[in-house]
């Protein structure tokens, strides 16, 4: 099972240098859990960079995976993770979702580097 962080989704949709790495997880929707928070982050950022039509097209791809709602249990698990790791709320929710789903978290967000069951790939290019 895979969970793809917002940074990896945006890299994939933007055809960035790491897009092919994240394609492995994204192009296997039957093996993907999608935290609702990533829907929010990807939709918002894609609207900022392009337009709502493009953002909705991205969401349609994301919805091919199984959407995982933020439950009370997941929120508490994320809070514990945040306390243990220092992760900000959004990152803790995404990681807690991956752990609840027994999934690998795919990301290029350096906050996750070195954490268990995280497939981290350093961001490439001008901002890397």
pLDDT digits over 8-26, tens only? Answer: 999 999 999 999 999 999 9
Whether residue 79 is predicted with pLDDT greater than 50 in this model: the reply is yes
Q: How far apart are the first and last CA of the chain?
A: 27
Residue 105 belongs to a domain:
yes
101-116 as b/e: b if 16+ CB within 10 A? bebbbbbbbebbeebe
Domain encompassing residue 17: 2-120
Assigned token pair, 77: 């698990």
pLDDT at 45: 98
Half-sphere exposure of 80 (CA within 13 A, CB side): 9
Residue 125 belongs to a domain:
no
Band of pLDDT at residue 111, cut at 50, 70 and 90: very high
Residue 128 belongs to a domain:
no
Number of structural domains, the chain? 1
- When the pLDDT of each residue in the chain is averaged and rounded to a whole number, the result is 96
Residue 126 belongs to a domain:
no
pLDDT at 126: 57
pLDDT digits over 45-55, tens only? Answer: 999 999 999 99
What CATH number is given to the structural domain containing 69? 3.40.50.1010
Whether residue 128 is predicted with pLDDT greater than 70 in this model: the reply is no
Residue 127 belongs to a domain:
no
pLDDT at 87: 97
Residue 20 belongs to a domain:
yes
Distance CA 86, CA 101 (A): 21
């Amino acid at each position: 099972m895979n969970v793809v962080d917002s940074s990896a989704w945006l890299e994939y949709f933007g055809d960035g240098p790491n897009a092919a790495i994240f394609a492995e997880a994204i192009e296997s929707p039957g093996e993907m859990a999608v935290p609702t928070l990533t829907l929010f982050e990807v939709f918002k950022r894609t609207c900022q960079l392009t337009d709502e039509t493009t953002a909705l097209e991205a969401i349609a791809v994301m919805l091919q995976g199984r959407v995982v709602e933020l439950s009370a249990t997941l929120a508490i698990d994320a809070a514990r993770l945040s306390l243990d790791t220092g992760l900000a709320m959004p990152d803790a929710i995404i990681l807690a979702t991956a752990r609840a789903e027994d999934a690998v978290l795919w990301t290029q967000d350096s906050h996750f580097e070195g954490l268990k069951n995280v497939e981290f790939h350093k961001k490439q290019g001008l901002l890397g």
